[in-house]
Amino acid sequence: MSISILKKDTKKEDLNNTNVIDTKELVFSKDYILENLDLVSSFLNVVIIKRNVTKVSIKDYNIISLSINIINEIPSIKELYLKPDKNIDYKIFLKLLENKYLEILEVYDIPVYLLERLDVNKNLLIKTRTEMFFISDFMSINNLSTYSELYYKKYININSLFTNEDITDFEIFININHHLKNINIIKFSSTVFNYIIDSIIKTNKSNIRINISEETNNLQDIYQTISELKLKHDKYFKDNSITFKINYSLEFKKRNFFKQLNLNFIKISILAVIFLIITLMGLNYYKNYTQARDIKNIEEELKSILKQIDEEYDIDDQDSDIEYIDADNTITIPTTTRSNYVSSYYKNYEKVLDTLLKINSDTKGWLTVNNTRIDYPVVQAKNNDYYLNRDYNRYKNSMGWIFMDYRNSIDILNQNTIIYGHNITAGIMFGTLRYTVNSSWYKKTSNQIITFNTLNSSMKWQIISIYKIPNTIDYLTTSFYSKKEYQKFLDLITGRSIHDFKQSVTTNDKILTLSTCQNRGEERLVVHAKLITDN
């Protein structure tokens, strides 16, 4: 739609006669429009929609302001072209500022402060026709001939070394422009490159990517220049998203294909290995967490069983008679002591074990080591592998359970009864057996007595030796063919002890051995005790 002042003579009475309106050429008087702005706008809107009009051209400067009043009421108008070769004034600017629908505005020229305000306040592209004459190659190469082109330019090309004229014009451009996103450098010069970066920083530009062509340029010079600039302005680049990219030529890619392929393969392989390690660590952590949770649930169930039996039996007068057996097994000295753990278990262990047998028929007894977390029922399988990876409920669990050597018997005690358990970091199973190597632990007399009750008897054991040793099996013999061999064994295990418990040990004694791993399986932590009571 074109709007202009009618030049031919027209009788005033003919104007605005709705009976003779021709929608191809509408004629209104200025006064009529001012008096009936809503009516004229509504009427034109219907015509514009019907004819699918989206662009308006205004040919006369004097009617720009009045015409914009109408245009502002018509949503269909997206483009406005002001044809007079004259700067728009502030009055026209204010009316443009009211428009909500325009997307493109073409003018002859517009003051800088008005252009910037329109750009900030509206999603409006402004084109100017005013020619700006430059003599630099930079302006010519990038087709920067109008102010609006300088203002809206999103990318520029640098394909020659800067002359003094180029430097002057680039400074004008970088100060006027508000939309620059890409700088493409075809011909690289460290001097020009440094000048461009300094100009970007000086004008506080942001979100710009600088693309540098590898072809015909010195890569080493490019790498070194970028490296120095990043070292100097790294914070500014990060805060303002200034990035660098080198565009390699097809010839360069061909030459370096296999080198890059190998490098990428190595990178991918390393990342894959790291990802695999992290994944396996995560899975292992989750597995350990769930298995430790299962063990703790079993511990709670066992505590519940003990509590229930406590409630069923009188826990008063729980003194227990302990008989210390002399070396020749003929003289006994009866004494009375009170157990550290007050529970009907010590009077009614048969009831506890009877209850546990219903849960696991492999149950053979109950082991307690004072001032540790070791307070578990002991099981026994047909081999020493089964309970390495199964819990008390016989479910698979890498933390295993406390188990007795398959060669031992609770009916007739062997000379050496061996009990195994994993050394779990969380303190589960034999995880707290490590307390026994601390002098503050083993020097307490009460800690030196271990309780191991079986289906057949209640037993107390006096610690005679504690030690760490590299992985060996020489202490894992259960029965000896002669007293001489047995004495040799007793001398061996007592001689290794980290502390002299001043306990005499003879071939008439029965030994209890607690064994767990140390130092990722490279060592063993071993506790030996001799039987001192057997009820």
Output the pLDDT for position 210: 94
Query: Catalytic residue among 517, 521, 527, 534, which?
Result: 517
- pLDDT level of residue 338 (50, 70, 90 thresholds): very low
pLDDT at 330: 35
Contacts of residue 384, Cβ cutoff 8 Å, sequence gap at least 6: 403, 405, 406, 420
489 CB-near residues (< 8 Å, 6+ apart): 416, 475, 477, 480
Q: CB burial class (10 A; 0-12, 13-18, 19+) of residue 84? A: middle
Helix and strand totals (H; E) in the chain = 15, 19
In 3D, which of 529, 200, 150 has the Cα closest to residue 370? 529
Average pLDDT over residues 501-508: 93
Name residues whose C-beta falls within 8 Å of residue 61's C-beta, 6 or more positions apart in sequence: 82, 84, 86
Helix (H) or strand (E) holding 461: strand 459-470
Instruction: Indicate the SS3 state at residue 5.
Output: coil
Closest CA to 37 of 28, 48, 26: 28
Which helix (DSSP H) or strand (DSSP E) does residue 274 occupy?
helix 257-312
Residue type, 446: S
Top-ranked range on mean pLDDT: pick from 151-165, 168-182, 460-474: 460-474
Residue found under tokens 């016989």: 394
Report the percentage of the chain scoring pLDDT > 90. Answer: 41
Q: Residue 326 above 50 pLDDT?
A: no
pTM comes to: 0.47
Strand intervals (E) in 46-122: 55-58, 79-82, 104-107
- Does residue 340 register a pLDDT over 50? no
- State yes or no: is 517 an active-site residue: yes
Q: What is the pLDDT of residue 269?
A: 83
Do the bridges between strand 449-454 and strand 459-470 make them parallel or antiparallel, or are there none, so unpaired?
antiparallel
Q: Does domain 314-534 have CATH number 2.70.98.10?
A: no
CB 445 within 8 A of CB 505: no
Size of the chain, expressed as the number of residues it contains: 535
Q: Which range, 82-91, 114-123, 244-253, 405-414, is most confident?
A: 405-414
Segment 506-535, tens digit of pLDDT:
999 999 999 999 888 789 999 999 999 876
How far is the C-alpha of 183 from the C-alpha of 169, rounded, in Å? 15
What are the sequence ranges of the domains in the chain?
A: 2-128, 137-253, 314-534
More confident of the two residues 113 and 450: 450
* Residue 324, pLDDT score: 35
Does residue 533 or residue 445 have the better pLDDT?
445
Beta strands, E only, 186-294: 208-213, 242-247
Digit-coded pLDDT (tens) for 128-163: 887 766 667 888 888 887 778 888 889 999 988 888
The domain 137-253 having CATH identifier 1.20.58: the answer here is: no
